[in-house]
Amino acid sequence: MSRILLALCAVLPIAQPLRAQQFDRRIAEAVERILPQIVEIRHRIHQNPELGNREFETARLIAQHLRELGFEVDTGIAHTGVVGVLRGGRPGPVVAVRADMDALPVTEATDLPFLSVKRTIYLGQDVGVMHACGHDVHVAVQLGVASVLASMQDAIRGTVKLIFQPAEEGPPEGEEGGAELMVREGVLADPRPEVIFGLHTFARMDVGTLGYTPGPALAAVDHFRIDIKGRQAHGASPHLSVDPVVMASQVIMALQTIRSRNLSPLEPSVVTVGIVRGGTRFNIIPAEVHLEGTVRTYSEEVRDIIERRMREILAGITAAAGGTFELDYDRGTPATINDRALTARMVPTLARIVGAGNVREIEPTMGGEDFAYFANEIPGFYFRLGQVAPGTTSGDHHTPTYRADDSMIPIGIRAMAGLVLDYLSSGVDR
């Protein structure tokens, strides 16, 4: 156990031990009872993945399950989002929990007996569709939490709001969606939660382990598009061209100096060019080259510096060569920042549920997560759920060999249900 976790367990208040033990026992009994149904639901969702803003069948399944449990259910939020509200038998705070529902345009290549063979058209191409980031597990865990809490409704002090979010991976081109749209449409109102919890599978952790990051946990995600324009010419007469290929090459290299020469080496950031597209024939210097990529940061100040330096670099290189440029810099999902006080308060719950030695403080990642839109409105705590079972392997997130094991599901249910009940109980006792 990390020194930080030891300190937290020693000095921070937690729910009364007797009540916590009673809750843990009831949660464990409920999980054992519902687990076969929840695992079957996970398999069904995995075999029938749906891309962002198109999670129609997934949303119907979720709404049906919640209604059968007696939740107040609202649908159609941010296109396909679902919200279920469970009011406990006693007054108390409101807590939200979020799970994302969408899949990715990835062709699955795992040995799972319930693998996806679904295909669809994405950006004009025929592609496979796969839950290559564990969102099927997130939905299953949250439906399991719904079942557990419904079985304990009379003992709950307060209200639980379960948010099932579409399009976490981003909405289709030209559409709005995801957590940002849910917030704009009032998903955190009536009733308004005090805090929000979320979890995510983690392909680099074993089943039975949980990870968390106090403070900055996931980076802001920006998307840039650059068109570098020159003058077309025959490849045998480069002196007659204004060569956008050469300019693009210089730009790609120069962009890396932003990270290495304009920012503190202690300030995390990433500038990545992921697309270089130009030309139609081997012996023609094209008129234009298109670049596209991503910027990852944790600071608005650093975001400003990177965008400014990109424009300065582009202006200098293209002017020197006699070309021009257009830059579209789209500031996307903000950084996900775990509320430090809430994190400190809830980590002992995770330690109690899975054992202190199985809870790890993990490094921040430059990956992004639009849970940030919720956590910017109310305090949030987002943690990671280990997914690799003994004797199995998993590819990384967003790859065809990504493989999350069913054995993680009961651990996720117990952990999340424990967080909810501990927070509601200690909220009343404050």
pLDDT at 228: 98
Q: How far is CA 41 from the centre of its chain?
A: 21
Per-residue pLDDT of the chain (430 residues; tens, 9 = 90+): 444 444 444 444 443 566 788 899 999 999 999 999 999 999 999 999 999 999 999 999 999 999 999 999 999 999 999 999 999 999 999 999 999 999 999 999 999 999 999 999 998 999 999 999 999 999 999 999 999 999 999 999 999 999 999 999 999 989 999 999 999 999 999 999 999 999 999 999 999 999 999 999 999 999 999 999 999 999 999 999 999 999 999 999 999 999 999 999 999 999 999 999 999 999 999 999 999 999 999 999 999 999 999 999 999 999 999 999 999 999 999 999 999 999 999 999 999 999 999 999 999 999 999 999 999 999 999 999 999 999 999 999 999 999 999 999 999 999 999 999 999 998 544 4
The reported pTM is 0.91
Joined tokens for residue 312: 């300065």
**Angle (deg, nearest 10), helices 135-151 and 17-47:** 140
Residue pair 65/52 in contact by the 8 Å Cβ criterion: no
Topology of the domain covering 220-331: Alpha-Beta Plaits (3.30.70)
Topology of the domain covering 3-218+335-429: Aminopeptidase (3.40.630)
- Answer whether 3-218+335-429 and 220-331 agree in fold: no
- Measured in degrees and rounded to the nearest 5, phi and psi for residue 418 equal -65, -40
Domain ranges of the chain: 3-218+335-429, 220-331
Question: What is the spatial distance between Cα 384 and Cα 191, in angstroms, rounded to a whole number?
Answer: 27
pLDDT at 17: 61
